[in-house]
């Protein structure tokens, strides 16, 4: 994991400016890709910066002080984000997740949430507007986020033990502060709250049971995420992946679990409930149980590139269209064409060696998880 990352601006393959088709389409109507997967979720990364350096996402030795973070001028403005989001909503998106980097670092994020919360589905329903955070600023911001119209939050927490937590996020940040953020979010009604724990073998897997015990008998849903080969900087190895089946086995040996049905088609987590009725956990198994067959997620990067897969090696530059004066109809037609042509299924194709592929995968801190 020594190789220095080529600055984003130099990664030419990431910069495809879409050609506007001659025949424009109506900017509404549901879309399905080449595998009949509907466009349902839009994840929007609103900053490439973070105050953590999680080893599986933004390892410190790569994302150091000299790393070329995006200048503010290249970020989509709140007006541009809302305009693009409205085009996706007109095509069937019902859920918008704000991500980063750490989205709560984006100045006046509440203003953006207010603008997005005002959007409605074509039949007048409110969107499922949610946000994924590392929880570091949540205690301070929970009420304002709720007041702005945010519906729910997902909080990343990779350990209860402070030393293990600090090893995972590689900054000196205490678990208690994140737990206070979760409590504050619960108090103001930003629920149901999900807690995401990335499990990296040999680093924090000893925390699986303490985490499961801690969040049992609480309103929070703890999800265990298999360590993934996102981007090209985390030095991923298959033998550091703890399969979800093993996670369930470990917990069930101590606190019996039963499988339960998904909330909706395309849900990333497999759900399990405590047999004694005291709560639910989830496992997200991109490595050992790929879920590409009903993946309905599009991703918009901080500077307006559309990605159709978390493990993509190229994106489509919608910002260029926004700033070149293209109309909503033109941009909407481009989105429709991109989604219809989508055939991504990286997790189905992944092997122990796919991470050695020459092509650079986009960094998770750039398009959000
Ligand atoms: S690997 Fe890509 S296509 Fe498969 S589930 Fe993940 S984001 Fe979707």
* CB of residue 347 inside a 6 A radius of ligand 1: yes
Does ligand 1 lie within 6 Å of residue 345's CB atom?
yes
Q: In what order do the strands lie in the sheet with 297-300?
A: 257-260, 270-274, 280-284, 221-226, 194-199, 152-156, 128-133, 95-99, 41-45, 297-300, 305-307, 316-317
Give the residues across from 154 on adjacent strands. Answer: 132, 194
Residue 308, ligand 1, Cβ within 6 A: no
Rounded to 5°, the CA angle 336-363-204 comes to 125
pLDDT-based confidence at residue 24 (cuts at 50, 70, 90): confident
Is residue 127 within 8 Å of 116, Cβ to Cβ? yes
Atom 2 in ligand 1: which residue has the minimum CA distance?
309
Length of the chain: 369
**Per-residue model confidence (pLDDT) at position 356:** 57
Question: Other C-beta atoms within 10 Å of 64: how many?
Answer: 11
Torsion-angle region of 9 (φ positive above 0: left; ψ -120 to 50: alpha; else: beta): alpha
Regarding the beta carbon of 362 and ligand 1, being less than 6 Å apart is answered no
For residue 190, pLDDT beyond 50: yes
User: What is the CATH code of the structural domain delimited by 36-367?
Assistant: 3.20.20.70
Q: Is the pLDDT of residue 284 over 70?
A: yes
Cα 164 to averaged position of ligand 1 atoms, centre (Å): 29
Kindly calculate the radius of gyration of the chain based on its CA atoms and give it in whole angstroms: 20
Residues in binding site for [4Fe-4S] cluster:
50, 54, 57, 292, 295, 309
367 alpha carbon – ligand 1 mean position (Å): 13
Closest atom of ligand 1 relative to the 268 alpha carbon: 5
Q: Which residues are annotated as a binding site for S-adenosyl-L-methionine?
A: 56, 101, 156, 228
pLDDT band at 32 (very low <50, low <70, confident <90, very high): very high
The string of pLDDT tens digits covering residues 45-99 is 999 999 999 999 999 999 998 898 999 999 999 999 999 999 999 999 999 999 9
d(CA 275, CA 92): 36
Q: Which atom of ligand 1 lies at the shortest distance from residue 348's CA?
A: 4
pLDDT tens, residue by residue, 257-275: 999 999 888 889 999 999 9
Beta carbon of 307 within 6 Å of any ligand 1 atom: no
Residue 357 CA to ligand 1 centre (angstroms): 17
Tokens read off for 26: 């109506």
Provide the mean pLDDT of the chain.
Answer: 93
Q: Which sequence spans correspond to the domains of the chain?
A: 36-367
CA 197 to chain centre: 13
Q: Where are any strands of DSSP class E within the chain?
A: 41-45, 95-99, 128-133, 152-156, 194-199, 221-226, 257-260, 270-274, 280-284, 297-300, 305-307, 316-317
Between the CA of residue 188 and those of 109, 133, 198, what are the distances in Å? 17, 16, 26
The predicted-structure confidence for 208-217, as pLDDT tens digits, reads as follows 999 999 999 9
Determine the atom of ligand 1 nearest the C-alpha atom of 346: 1
Q: Is the peptide bond before 192 cis (omega within 30 degrees of 0)?
A: yes
3-state helix, strand, coil in the chain (%, to 5): 35, 15, 50
Q: List phi, psi (to 5°) of 316.
A: -120, 120
- Binding site as annotated, residues for GTP: 43, 97, 132, 194, 297-299
* Distance between start and end Cα atoms, the chain: 20
Regarding the beta carbon of 309 and ligand 1, being less than 6 Å apart is answered: yes
The distance from CA 310 to its chain's CA centroid, rounded to whole angstroms, is: 8
DSSP 204-247: TGGGHHHHHHHHTTSS-EEEEEE----TTTS---GGGB--HHHH
Token match 């194709």: residue? 349
Give the per-residue pLDDT at 155: 98
Predicted confidence at residue 15, as pLDDT, reads: 61
Whether ligand 1 lies within 6 angstroms of the CB of 344 is answered as yes
State whether residue 278 is helix, strand or coil: coil
Question: What DSSP assignment string belongs to 8-20?
Answer: GGG-GGG-BPPPP
Q: Are 216 and 279 in contact (CB under 8 A)?
A: yes
- 83 CA → ligand 1 middle, Å: 25
How far apart are the C-alpha atoms of 21 and 339, rounded to whole Å?
A: 14
């Amino acid at each position: 994991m020594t190789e220095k990352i080529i600055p984003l601006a130099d990664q030419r393959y990431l910069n495809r400016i879409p050609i506007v088709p001659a025949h424009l389409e109506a900017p509404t109507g549901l879309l399905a890709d080449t595998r009949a997967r509907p466009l349902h979720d839009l994840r929007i990364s609103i900053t490439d910066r973070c105050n953590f350096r999680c080893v599986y996402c933004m390892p410190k030795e790569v994302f150091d002080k000299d790393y070329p973070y995006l200048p503010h001028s290249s970020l989509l403005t709140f007006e541009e984000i809302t305009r693009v989001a409205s085009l996706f909503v007109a095509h069937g998106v019902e859920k918008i997740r704000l991500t980063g980097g750490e989205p709560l670092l984006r100045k006046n994020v509440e203003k953006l949430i207010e603008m997005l919360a005002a959007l409605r589905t074509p039949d007048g329903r409110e969107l499922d507007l949610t946000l994924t955070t590392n929880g570091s600023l949540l205690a301070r911001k929970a009420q304002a986020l709720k007041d702005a119209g945010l519906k729910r939050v997902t909080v990343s927490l990779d350990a209860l033990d402070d030393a293990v937590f600090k090893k995972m996020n590689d900054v000196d940040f205490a678990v208690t502060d994140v737990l206070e953020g979760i409590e504050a979010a619960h108090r103001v009604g930003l629920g149901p709250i999900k807690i995401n724990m990335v499990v990296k073998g040999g680093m924090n897997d000893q925390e699986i049971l303490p985490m499961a015990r801690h969040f049992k008998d609480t309103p929070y849903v703890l999800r265990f995420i298999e360590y993934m080969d996102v981007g090209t900087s985390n030095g991923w190895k298959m033998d550091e992946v703890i399969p979800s089946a093993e996670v369930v086995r470990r917990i069930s040996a101590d606190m019996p679990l039963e499988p339960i049905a998904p909330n909706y088609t395309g849900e990333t987590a497999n759900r399990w409930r405590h047999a004694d009725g005291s709560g639910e956990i989830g496992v997200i198994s991109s490595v050992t149980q790929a879920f590409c067959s009903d993946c309905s997620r599009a991703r918009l990067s901080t500077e307006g590139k559309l990605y159709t897969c978390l493990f993509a090696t190229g994106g489509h530059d919608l910002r260029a269209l926004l700033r070149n004066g293209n109309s909503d109809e033109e941009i909407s037609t481009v989105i429709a064409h991109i989604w219809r042509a989508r055939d991504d299924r990286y997790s189905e194709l992944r092997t122990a060696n796919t991470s050695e592929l020459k092509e650079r995968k986009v960094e998770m801190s750039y398009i959000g998880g």
